Chains A and B, each alone.
Chain A
Amino acid sequence: MNAVKSESVREPLILGNPTMGQVTDKIAGIIEAPPTKKYWVLLAFTALLAAQGLASVAYTVLVGPGVWGVKNPIGWGWAITNFVWWVGIGHAGTLISAILFLFRQKWRTAINRSAEAMTIFAVICAGLFPLLHTGRQWIAVYWLLPYPNQMQMWTNFRSPLEWDVFAVSTYLTVSLVFWYTGLVPDFATMRNRVKGLGQKLFSFFSLGWTGSTKHWQHYEMAYLILAGLSTPLVLSVHSIVSFDFAVSVIPGWHTTIFPPYFVAGAIFSGFAMVVTLLVIARSVLNLHDFITLKHLDNMNKIILATGMMVGYAYSMEFFIAQFSEYSFEQFVFVNRATGPYAWAYWSMVSCNVLAPQIFWFKKMRRNIAVMFVVSIFVNIGMWFERFVIIATSLHRDFLPASWDYYTPSIVEVSIYVGTMGIFLTLFLLFAKFVPMLAIAELKGVMPGAQPSHHGDDHSAHNGAAQSGALHNGHA
Chain B
Amino acid sequence: MIGEAFLSVSSIFQKRSRHEVMYQLYITGIKSLGVITVVALFTGMILALQTGLELRRFGQEVNIGTAVTVVMLREMGPFMTGLIIAASVGSAIAAQMGTMTVSEEIAALEVMSINPVRFLVMPRLIALMVMMPILTVYTNILGALGGAIVGSTQLGVAFTAYFDNATLYATNKDLYVGLCKAVLFGVIITTVACHQGFSAKQGAVGVGQATRKTVIISFLTILTVGYMVTRLFYQ
Q: Do A and B bind each other?
A: no
